[in-house]
A = this chain, B = another copy of it.
């Protein structure tokens, strides 16, 4: 009973995640979610009341998953260069498993900025920021040739790293046909990107050595 409830609710939720992330809030249809879940449309309302409430539940879950992925990567205790390699390898692999995720998050944040405020307040972004900064500040000073990074640059570097990692997935349908015309595949491009992106960031950090 409670077992069965949980099962139905779960099926609805999974179906909703699929449909919403493919079509977005506006493009999604309750009927399609019901069909995919293999249940009646009115059950959606029984469990989640309205389309918007269902969407919010889905959005929060997906956003939390994404932020947790970032947090778990940054939390790894590794030397900076290792961590950078680990970041791109893990993050690109993660998005290969969830390729629709970046554009979904970006689109919906854009359509409804208010949605973000709740989330930003909940997330301990400071722990992410600090997970990077101390390493540049402390570990760094023990190096033979320490990196010289101004604090303002941290946000530039971090957003660039995320951009490099996320953009290919957000722009996949633009990028893939162009790559094909030059004889490359998207998969090969992604594999090469793990190493390229790491070298890219590290090259910049090293260019700051005094």
A→B interface (CB under 8 Å): 23-27, 100, 103, 105-107, 109-111, 113, 116-117, 120, 125, 129, 152-153, 155-156, 159-160, 162-164, 166-168, 170-175, 177-179, 181-182, 184, 189, 192-193, 196-197, 199-200, 203-204, 206-207
Distance between Cα atoms of A168 and B105 in the complex (Å) = 14
Distance between Cα atoms of A197 and B157 in the complex (Å) = 9
Contact of A155 among B110, B163, B172, B184 (CB under 8 A): B184
Instruction: List 7 A-B residue pairs with CB atoms under 8 Å apart, sorted by A's residue number.
Output: A103-B110, A105-B174, A109-B171, A153-B196, A155-B179, A199-B207, A200-B200
**Provided the pairs A103-B106, A178-B120, A193-B156 are in contact, do residues A23 and B111 lie with their beta carbons within 8 angstroms?**
yes
Chain B residue numbers with a CB within 8 Å of A120 are: 174, 177-178, 181
| Distance (whole angstroms) from the CB of A154 to the closest CB of chain B | 9
Query: CB distance A200 to B160 under 8 Å?
Result: yes
Copies in the complex: 2
Chain B residue at minimal CB-CB distance from A168: B159
Chain B residue numbers with a CB within 8 Å of A207 are: 199, 203, 206-207
Chain B residue numbers with a CB within 8 Å of A159 are: 167-168, 171, 175
**Provided the pairs A111-B23, A167-B162 are in contact, do residues A177 and B117 lie with their beta carbons within 8 angstroms?**
yes
Distance between Cα atoms of A37 and B103 in the complex (Å) = 30
Distance between Cα atoms of A28 and B167 in the complex (Å) = 25
By Cβ-Cβ distance, the 8 closest A-B pairs, closest first, are A163-B167, A26-B26, A203-B207, A26-B27, A113-B173, A163-B163, A203-B204, A156-B196
